Amino acid sequence: MRQDHLISARQLSRADVETVLDRAAEFDAGLDSGDPTLREHHPGEVLALAFFEPSTRTKMSFDAAMKRLGGRVVDMGGVDSSSVKKGESLADTVRVLEGYADGLVLRHPREGAATMAAEFVDVPVVNAGDGAGQHPSQTLLDLYTIRENAGLDDLTIGIIGDLKYGRTVHSLATALTEFDARMHFVSPESLRLPRSVRFDLHEAGAQLREHTDLDPVLSGLDVLYVTRIQRERFPDEDEYRKVAGQFRVDVDTLDAAADDLTVMHPLPRVDEIAPEVDETENATYFEQAQNGVPVRMALLDLLLTDE
Ligand code: NCD
């Protein structure tokens, strides 16, 4: 992969994705067997984590990935305990962090924040979520999980929930155009894909259909990708309440689906998937979260290695 930064899934060709996923599979096997040479990949290198929004999986799996590769991590910590609280600009913060690290992982509530940060620094920047924009490293682990469970060829996927504000959806849909997947988008009318994303998907020749109900498409799906309603991005709490809880996947939902349906979710879930689904063979979201480590190891390895 010849990229300096990973800001958007639009940067990823099919070949790039395959390079990352193949490398991730090697790291995955190495993690399973406890291969001690994994630590020889990036000894002494430092990754800076700057998360201006809450995170559990993304931040901790980047942290674990860097350490598994033999590197170290410096973490800005919460916004409340950093100089952001004193009014420091994002540009100044990232310029300073660049001096402390060999790479920077950034999450920020503002769309475009990572694009802006990448203009100010020379070390590789990974966009770990910019508002309702993009979340491309999540997409790589989603694609890895799909490849392992359903295969990326001849894929029919349903993506349900908050398609308007869900950045994991925007990135995943963009990347899936490279694989000619058939995409069914299911949401309340008010949470449809943003016009700009739809436009980009059409431009890329995507095979997509939009629905307000899952039932008509469920039985034909290989993968159902469920998302959380992004409460924090709603300008109005009443608007959130109107749509909250409208779609919930439970064991009755699975009755109408293919036996081998792969159910995914980037997590955290609130109540979109009933806990009873966790016990089924279909539930793949905890495995998906775990895939964050080998996939981010692969991504970091490719970005941090000068060739
Ligand atoms: C997602 C995010 O932050 O966009 N979480 C994650 O990175 N796994 C999804 C979400 O918050 O709903």
Closest CA to 111 of 183, 197, 239: 197
Catalytic residue, chosen from 58, 93, 227, 262, is 58
Cβ of 131 closer than 6 Å to ligand 1, yes or no, is no
Contact by Cβ (8 Å): 151, 118: no
Q: Give the strand order in the sheet containing 262-264.
A: 207-211, 182-186, 156-160, 223-226, 262-264
Q: Do domains 9-134+292-304 and 136-289 have the same CATH topology?
A: yes
Q: Ligand 1 centre from 35 Cα, in Å? A: 30
Cβ of 58 closer than 6 Å to ligand 1, yes or no, is yes
User: Does position 99 have pLDDT exceeding 70, yes or no?
Assistant: yes
Structural domain spans, the chain = 9-134+292-304, 136-289
Between β-strands 182-186 and 207-211, what pairing exists: parallel, antiparallel or unpaired?
parallel
Contacting residues for 298 by C-beta, under 8 A, at least 6 apart: 20, 21, 23, 24, 26, 27, 140
Q: Ligand 1 centre from 36 Cα, in Å? A: 31
User: Does position 212 have pLDDT exceeding 90, yes or no?
Assistant: yes
233 catalytically annotated: no
Q: What is the pLDDT of residues 169-189, one digit of tens each?
A: 999 999 999 999 999 999 999
Looking at the domain covering 136-289, what would its CATH class be? alpha beta
Q: What is the pLDDT of residue 86?
A: 82
User: Does position 307 have pLDDT exceeding 80, yes or no?
Assistant: no
For residue 104 the two structure tokens come to 């920077």
Q: What is the pLDDT of residues 28-60, one digit of tens each?
A: 999 999 999 999 999 999 999 999 999 999 999
**CA 19, 221, 287, 39: dihedral to nearest 10 degrees?**
0
* Average pLDDT over every residue of 71-93: 88
Report the residue among 49, 51, 58, 232 best suited for mutation to probe ligand 1: largest number of ligand atoms under 8 A from its CB. Answer: 58
* Average pLDDT over every residue of 5-26: 97
Q: Would you identify the CATH topology of the domain 9-134+292-304?
A: Rossmann fold (3.40.50)
Cβ of 228 closer than 6 Å to ligand 1, yes or no, is yes
* Average pLDDT over every residue of 102-110: 97
> What are the φ/ψ torsions at residue 244 (nearest 5 degrees)?
-60, 135
Cα–Cα dist 278/89, whole Å: 42
